[in-house]
Structure 1
Amino acid sequence: MPSTHATLISAKRLRRTPNMPKPLLRLTDFTIAFDDNVVVDALSLTVNAGETLAIVGESGSGKSVSALGAINLLPRNAMISGERWLEDTDLNQLGERDWNGVRGNRVGFVFQEPMTSLNPLHRISKQIGETLRLHQGLSGQAARARARELLEQVKLPRVDELLDAWPHQLSGGQRQRVTIAMAIANNPSLLIADEPTTALDVTVQQDILGLLKELRDQHGMGMLFISHDLNLVSRYAERVCVMYRGKIQEMGPVEEVFQNPKSDYTKALLAAEPEGRPATPANTAPLLTARQLSVSFQRPKTGLFKRQPPPFEALKATDLSISPGETLGIVGESGSGKTTLASAIMRLVQSQGDVILGDATLSQLTGNALRRQRHRLQMVFQDPYGALSPRMPVFDIVSEGLRFHYPALSLDEVTRRVQKTLLEVGLPEGCAARYPHEFSGGQRQRIAVARAIILEPELLVLDEPTSALDRTVQKQLVTLLRQLQERRQLSYLFISHDLAVVRAMAHRIMVLKDGEVVEQGPCLDVLSSPQHAYTQSLIAAAHLPRLFA
């Protein structure tokens, strides 16, 4: 696989540039502060009609807070200064009622996490209908008809069925399409997309980006695109603004900035591709073996007198093995069965088949017998924000499992182990008394890793551990995980949709599609010479076609 830098500048692309750019959003000396902490410092930028301006930078650089501040969505304690214009409207002069007429009407917003953007207690038709009622006065059948048109416009299948669905019944890509439908419902002149493809697999990313490009051209919108993925930005935006600690480091046409970066920070971002390979494991007997492992879920009845539909096979009979010190990468689209496989191995869902960890057949254990084996295999989840209790300090979070499995340990011994583990994952001394909200996303994921490895497990299941992190932090976490593996001879089951990260982490790859293994083999062999058409499509999507060519 080529490096990010090589990929970004690999081909000359023709982009659609408006003949006469029409300024839509203008920010001049735009500054945001909370108390004495300045988070955005004298930001000046313009988004024109028909173009996409991308803002890139690592977590905490001020990307999202700038977009939220531009349309007055920050808390009341935010102090904002500088000029804000939306076409000919001075946004600084608007009252709250005027703002309600701007947001969702003239400006659409696509948030990063579609599940938290949608109300879990309302059906999709009601959520789209709400914005139509507020801004267009539509209700009843007229609102439903318009909602149906919007879902068709964002290319969702089975529209009538989805209108009556709940958010949890949709996949991640479908939920994101619904939020896009809501954002464009009132034909806005400006669309703000804040990390719209984070945590989506590469093929869904490609679909979402293609859809946004098509809608932008169709409606003549301007687009402010916030992302930490430079590979996407290189194919999606005309201009790019690089931010660091609230300040612009560099701004200009994408090709110019990425080919000839002036700022040291921009150069560091371009070089932040996960690189290297894991250490070669010893050729020993497998630590984990799964035989004919499968998972089925019973479908609900569709009516009182209807027959019970057949079960849904989320994971078909699967065999796998992982040796000590080895990483098995699991890749595939959303809904392919990756997380279901991990949950079955962890005994978090009911499954059929055998799961053997060393000398213990986990699939035959229940109750206390299973709990006594839990310290041998641990899991790090995708979301570093939702995986940690906001009410517990880091010391309690990291030590909770240790105190449960080893109740005889003294407080001094627990404290010593917590401090040693936090240092091992690269967290600063003295952080144990702080709470999760005081840490960045990358630091929170390190806390999650510390919580897992303090029990000295033999197997670590990592479910999309880097998907919510920017590229520089991804690189740091990949390096940390490889170092821990080499020191502790840890085995990893590594689930990811990011093939660049998988390449840097995995010894072997298993490709899942619709709950079935379609290809597996040594990592570099599969990535360089994929045999199955589905694997080939995943690799092609990871490079992303030139959407603006």
Structure 2
Amino acid sequence: MPEPLLCVDNLTIAFDGSTVVESLSLELHAGETLAIVGESGSGKSVSALGLMNLLPGNAKVSGERRLNGTRLNTLGNAEWNGLRGNTVGVVFQEPMTSLNPLHRVGKQIGESLRLHQGLRGKAARARAKNLLEQVKLPRAEELLDAWPHQLSGGQRQRVMIAMAIANNPSLLIADEPTTALDVTVQQEILALLKELRDQHGMGLLLISHDLNLVRRHADRVCVMFQGKIQESGPVEQVFEQPQSDYTQRLLAAEPEGRPSPVAERPPLLTVKQLSVSFKRPKPGLFKRQPPAFEAVKATDLTVAPGETLGIVGESGSGKTTLASAIMRMVTSQGDITLGDAPLSKLTGNDLRRQRHRLQMVFQDPYGALSPRMPVFDIVSEGLRFHYPHLSATEVTERVHQTLREVGLPESCAARYPHEFSGGQRQRIAVARAIILEPELLVLDEPTSALDRTVQKQLVTLLRDLQARRQLSYLFISHDLAVVRAMAHRIMVLKDGEVVEQGPCLDVLASPQHSYTQSLIAAAYLKDFAG
């Protein structure tokens, strides 16, 4: 065997005396993909940051690290700056926070080219365009002048990959590169990384909690738990014959079960011919206004009391826009009726009085909660608005009762969001919604940023709440395993149009539309009918 590209021996990382990674050892060869998997908090990302000397000053890092035979422990700050972005490329988990919102895409790619290759002006722009073409982004010349917020999640992630490979690195570290992306884009991103790895002969260190993707795209895998490697080896060997108890639990943590059946009753929510369109920016002073962009096209749907309607589709298919229109958060055309209330016709105070009947849990548990408010204020804020007659004691009792109902202790009320894990934050968001005793809960990708074990816990919680409270759910997700465990019926959206709908298991077991078939194939789950 040739000398490893990356060799790590007994890497240990501690913060203020508390060890978070202990005696991590691994090897990665050129042209190989090594995956590190494990739950949130297992030490995956911290290990990668420790490898690249990107941890804060209070971190103590020990152990041997070698890259292409160079001892990384001996490098000074200037040498590290020359190494990162040059010999080593990094693709971070959340491209929207990794990209500078104040600079256009071309300038951000050009910065790395200027620092490491001295390219400027037209030469830098030409190289940046070539990189965007390498990562298979259409309209590369146009995208160079785009702002990050104008790109989809998949496009932003491709821009991050373009920046990471700009200087032909020997090692590419991809930290959760597919989190919150839909299944087809996930497959495209991982296939792209594999293609680039083979083209450039790189070593790829892939950090992920998505075991299906790891199974398909990695050569070897290391399983981490509480800062330690529990098991490592070829992917097929570890996944088919796991030796450690933790690996076995992790592989068994896929959401399972089905929601309780619902009786036939008149619908709680009725949506008829709902359409949403957005004006496109005018290209110039004397140019004609382009036609509006139709994000949702003449959509009908119903949700019965106690029923879950799953809405699936790729990014940009109109899922979140449809939910926002039903919540009356964006302007729309069509009829929206909740029980006996014609929501589409209500405005002002009349609409606000109906808000407690339908609530929304957003995708990002980090951004959805105010960092400046304790949990008590976050959960009770809507309660104080909709039920002003409640005394302080009654508000406190309701907050504590609701926290217990979502599986959190009363002591959480005095703490702030940053003190909680992603799964706990999502439970807080659910508590904030259900404390108002809504009839309909809109759940927009509530599990996308969570690892498998936490996903399973949240799915169980949501099903229990539905059974106890007879809640109706509008459940938006790109994760078909979660949808299967949650939904009674499924609606498949593509380009703002419904292409297929029906009972959940029927659609997943026998999809009729080619688009639905492609979504199911990309999800890589063996038995949708079970």
TM tier relative to shorter chain: over 0.9
Give yes or no for the alignment of 1:37 onto 2:18.
yes
- 2:283: which partner in 1? 302
Tell whether the 8 Å contact from 1:206 to 1:544 is kept in structure 2 after alignment.
no
In the alignment, which residue of structure 2 is the partner of 1:13? none
Shift of residue 27, structure 1, vs aligned partner: 1.4
Q: Which residue of 1 aligns with 2:302?
A: 321
What is the SS of the residue equivalent to 2:482?
helix
Equivalent of 2:337 in 356, 365, 376: 356
Structure 2 Cα separation of the partners of residues 242 and 404 of structure 1: 47
Contact 2:31–2:203, Cα closer than 8 Å, also in 1: yes
Judge conservation of contact 2:311–2:476 (CA < 8 Å) in 1.
Answer: yes
Once the 2 structures are TM-superposed, how far is the Cα of residue 89 of structure 1 from its aligned partner? 1.3
CA distance in 1 between counterparts of 2:323 and 2:121 reads: 44
Matched, 1:502 2:488: no
- Of 324, 339, 354, the match for 1:343: 324
The one of 493, 507, 510 aligned to 1:526: 507
Alignment partners' CA distance in 2, 1:510 and 1:401: 30
Contact 2:13 2:60 in 1 (8 A): yes
What do the CA deviations read for 1:407-438 (whole angstroms, capped 9, x no partner)?
Answer: 12111111111111111101123111111111
Q: Deviations over 1:72-94 (max 9, x none)?
A: 11111111111111122111111
Q: Which residue of 1 aligns with 2:435?
A: 454
| Secondary structure, counterpart of 2:490 in structure 1 | strand
| In 2: Cα distance, 1:147 partner to 1:239 partner | 32
1:252 aligns with 2:252: no
Distance of aligned partners of 1:352 and 1:21 in 2 relative to their CA distance in 1, 3 Å threshold: farther
Q: Which consecutive residues of structure 1, in runs of 5 or more, have no partner in the other structure?
A: 1-19
CA RMSD, Structure 1 to Structure 2 (Å): 1.0
**Offset from partner CA, 1:508-529 (integer Å, 9 cap, x none):** 0000000000000000000001
SS across alignment from 2:27: strand
Determine whether 1:100 maps to 2:81.
Answer: yes
Distance 1:40 1:338 in 2: 39
Q: Which amino acid aligns with 2:146?
A: A
Q: Is the 8 A contact 2:154 2:185 kept in 1?
A: yes
Deviation for aligned residue 1:544 = 8.3
- Structure-1 residue corresponding to 2:139: 158
Task: For residue 131 of structure 2, give the secondary structure of its aligned residue in structure 1.
Answer: helix
Amino acid of the structure 1 residue aligned with 2:499: V
Q: CA deviation at 1:22?
A: 3.5
Quote how far apart the aligned CAs of 1:21 are.
Answer: 4.0
TM-score under structure 2 length normalisation: 0.98
Contact 1:394 1:447 in 2 (8 A): yes
In the other structure, the counterpart of 2:159 is 178
Distance, in Å, in 2 between the alignment partners of 1:449 and 1:120 is 30
2:239 is equivalent to residue 289 of structure 1 = no
Moved more, 26-35 or 322-331: 26-35
- 2:435 and 2:75 mapped to 1: Cα distance? 53
Looking at structure 2, the residues matched to 25 and 367 of structure 1 have their Cα atoms a distance apart, in angstroms, of 61
The one of 342, 359, 372 equivalent to 2:353 is: 372
The one-letter code of the counterpart of 2:45 is S
Percent identity of equivalent pairs: 83
Q: Which residue does the alignment assign to 1:143?
A: 124
Q: Does 1:434 align with 2:415?
A: yes
Distance in 2 of aligned mates of 1:544 and 1:313: 32
2:32: which partner in 1?
51
Where in structure 2 are there 5+ consecutive unaligned residues? none
The runs of at least 4 aligned residues of structure 1 exceeding 3 Å deviation read: none
Say whether the 8 Å CA contact 2:481–2:525 is kept in structure 1.
no
Q: 2:523 aligns with which of 542, 545, 548?
A: 542
User: In the aligned structure 1, how far is the partner of 2:273 from the partner of 2:304?
Assistant: 18
Residue 217 in structure 1 maps to residue 190 in structure 2: no
Q: 2 CA distance for matches of 1:376 and 1:22?
A: 63
Distance 1:107 1:389 in 2: 35
1:196 partner amino acid: P
Larger RCO, structure (CA 8 Å, separation 6 or more): 1
Range that drifts further, 374-383 or 83-92? 83-92
Q: Deviation of residue 36 (structure 1)?
A: 2.4
Once the two structures are superposed, what CA deviation does each residue of 1:125-172 show, in whole Å capped at 9, x if it has no partner?
000000000000001000000001101100110111111111111111
